[in-house]
Amino acid sequence: MMGDFNAVVREGKEDGYVAHYGLGCCNDCGQMLADFCKRRQMYIAKTWFTQDRRRQYTWMKPGDTGRYQIDYILTKFKHWNSVCNAKACPGADTDCGVVARLRVKLKVLKATVRKHWLLARMKDEGTAMNYRCEMDTAVVTEKQESADVNGRWEHLKSTVIKAAELTLGHKTRQEVQKPWVTDEMIDMMEERWK
């Protein structure tokens, strides 16, 4: 979380939420920000990195009578090692005058592979007839006495899947292709290369 909090946190470490590199004396908003960080298990990232003086302040009092650090980046404790650096950008054309360099390592999510039925086989009368016969025999042999709607749905679902596995089969990876490539085009390409 980042933004202009109009808070000034004090110099010096405070319970792991604020580190040694704050700027100035704490005000009421600074104390509320520190309390917020304690409740949410966050820390103020900008106070953990040593910077030269011009990279510490984000607001200058008119007449240059005081310089304050009022913009911050708050980070969850579990991501503390992801922040490599955080500093102020004086004169930057941004809403918040603070930037951070992050090291992010994304998790690799394993995609679930969906089975695609070979529905083109249903155009063949023999296959369609076999599918119907499998459905009829499965429904007749596994007749359920349960009046439970969920039980009847699970029975119907498993029946349809079993019948499709026995008669239609699944597409393999090699068969997956662009939708505009038809079987006739593939046959013509194979004939050409023979």
Question: Residue 96: which pLDDT band, with cuts at 50, 70 and 90?
Answer: low
Residue with tokens 């319970």: 15
- What is the pLDDT at residue 108? 76
Other C-beta atoms lying within 10 Å of the C-beta of residue 112:
5
Work out the average pLDDT over 1-8.
78
pLDDT per residue as tens digits for the range 62-75? 887 777 777 888 88
Residue with tokens 């922040």: 83
Higher pLDDT, 77 or 111: 77
Q: What percent of the chain has pLDDT over 70?
A: 82
Work out the average pLDDT over 114-118.
77
| pTM as predicted | 0.47
b/e 61-95 (16+ beta carbons within 10 angstroms → b): eeeeeebbbbbbbbbeeeeeeebeebbbeeeeeee
Instruction: Give dist(CA 31, CA 74) in Å, integer.
Output: 14
